[in-house]
Structure 1
Amino acid sequence: MTGTEVLRKLKVKVGFGSSKFGTGKGKTKMSGKCIRHGYHLVKGKAYHPMEDYVVAQFKHAGDSELGLFAIFDGHLGHDVPDYLQSHLFENILKQPNFWTDTESAIRKAYEVTDNNILEKAKQLGKGGSTAVTAILIDGWKLIVANVGDSRAVICKNGVAKQLSIDHEPNRERCYIEKKGGFVSNIPGDVPRVDGQLAVARAFGDRSLKVHLSSVPDVKVELVDDKTEFLILASDGLWKVMSNQQVVDAIREINDPQVAAKHLTQEALIRKSKDDISCIVVKFG
């Protein structure tokens, strides 16, 4: 076993998933509520190595406790999502205004992290990654940010509510064309930036960056008594299931790890061919 493989196995144990079949769980108490998470990853049918990475952990910071959750869906290599797994939350939490203006701190950290990735293009390669991150502060305030098409959905009283925005090329066409790029719409294929990338915002992708944004959409959601659970997943799930179908599929499953695994299996049954990664966070 190589040193890299050992490191990845250790990451899985402490709440970082990057293996072919990564799975894990954890729990804590925040504001008197028991909050539990579980995650599961399954490699898709493509011939390249697994390119989905996750973060799912609880962390003390000052007088607060945080839940840190993320899905990073790489393309053209796994080095960029691997880098994000190790550095994005670190960069967010060290922003001087994290506690006073969390939304601005997240946007700044996304920018700093993307610049670092571009500067390291020789080591990290020409690929990139989508990202959806969720930070739970003291069990009641949830801040979700994303670039790309990995998605965050929350369930309140059985109703699915999407917290992130899917950054599809046609949705961002005006920005792309204003920057001198184009969106291809070839019959039988999905829309692509400059005929190449199927998402309009991402980390990395140095060759496309002039036409590609890495500015996240950020949304704040309050966790109240109606809030049941949160789902983060890569597009390998959302391509074959709607938000409400996903919520309905796991609402009666108490164990979040079992719920996450059930969703990946359901996506496979529905013929998803992409890498599939899923995190489920249960509130109370």
Structure 2
Amino acid sequence: MVVVVGKEEVVVVNFGNSKAVLCRGGLAVPLSSDLKGERADEKGRCDDEAVVGRTINWNACHLPPLSTTSRSLGGEYRKQYIIMEPEVTVMKRTEQSDDFLIIATNSLWNVVGDKTACEVVKRYCVNGESGRLMSSDGSSTAAAASEAATALAVLAMAKGSRHNISIIVVQLK
């Protein structure tokens, strides 16, 4: 996943296995969708045995050779199974109400919903006029973003996620 944050817009380029969620005015706004084999548009293509062979349902829709995503920057051997064209989203920014972005692998999103993730990160926000993230010792927004990402990772692990939990929290105010 590639995320570019500009003054006027946020651009998200998703190849799969990740998702970006914007917290805008306290609400979770997905900026990308989960690119999984279970998705209707992906499943239709994945189930086309002439294209990919057969899929395996093993706690998720998997493509041979056990790839969990149907889009990827994957290696040469996967080209017959995956789409190499990313999903691109461009979202206009609203400076007053855009609070933060959560960019994470599916290991978070498979066990924690968008709204819950935003609520966890909001616990690290000061409800003052700035609405800026502050660390537990009040020192910096970078420390607060790191603490919020860590809290999300701990929550994901508590809910059973174990593989490649990567999370970035980006302060937008």
Q: Percent identity?
A: 25
Q: Which residue of 2 aligns with 1:112?
A: none
Identify if the C-alpha distance between structure 1 residues 178 and 270 changes in structure 2 by more than 3 Å, giving closer, same or farther: closer
**Structure holding more helix per residue:** 1
Q: d(CA) in 2 for partners of 1:273 and 1:147? A: 21
Alpha-carbon deviation of 1:218? 0.5
Query: Equivalent residue for 1:135?
Result: 4
- CA displacement at 1:174 relative to structure 2: 3.1
User: Match for residue 198 of structure 1?
Assistant: 68
Aligned residue-pair number: 151
- The one-character-per-residue Cα deviations of 1:189-230 (angstroms, maximum 9, x if unpaired) are 321113621110011232221221111111111221111110
Q: In the alignment, which of 117, 121, 134 is matched to residue 246 of structure 1? A: 117
Q: Identify the residue that residue 72 of structure 1 maps to in structure 2.
A: none
Q: Distance in 1 between matches of 2:110 and 2:38?
A: 17
Q: TM-score, normalised by structure 1?
A: 0.50
Alignment-mate amino acid for residue 258 of structure 1: E
Q: 1:194 to 1:275 in 2, by over 3 A?
A: closer
| Alignment partners' CA distance in 2, 1:174 and 1:242 | 25
**Contact in 1 for aligned 2:34/2:106 (Cα 8 Å):** no
Instruction: Decide whether aligned partners of structure 1 residues 217 and 153 sit closer, same or farther in structure 2, where only a CA change above 3 A counts.
Output: same
Over 3 Å counting, the alpha-carbon distance change for 1:231 and 1:260 in structure 2 is: same
TM-score of the superposed pair, with normalisation by structure 2 = 0.79
Q: Quick check: 1:219 aligned with 2:62? A: no
Q: Unaligned stretches of 5+ in structure 1?
A: 1-131
- Decide which structure has greater strand share: 1
Task: List per-residue Cα deviations over 1:225-266 (Å, max 9, x = no partner).
Answer: 111110100112112100101001111312212111111122
Structure 2: gaps of 5 or more residues:
125-132, 134-143
Deviation of 1:184 after TM superposition, in Å, equals 2.0
The 3-state SS of whatever aligns with 2:101 is strand
**Pick from 211, 231, 235: which aligns with 2:102?**
231
Q: 1:263 aligns with which of 152, 157, 165?
A: 152
Superposition deviation, residue 165 in structure 1: 1.9
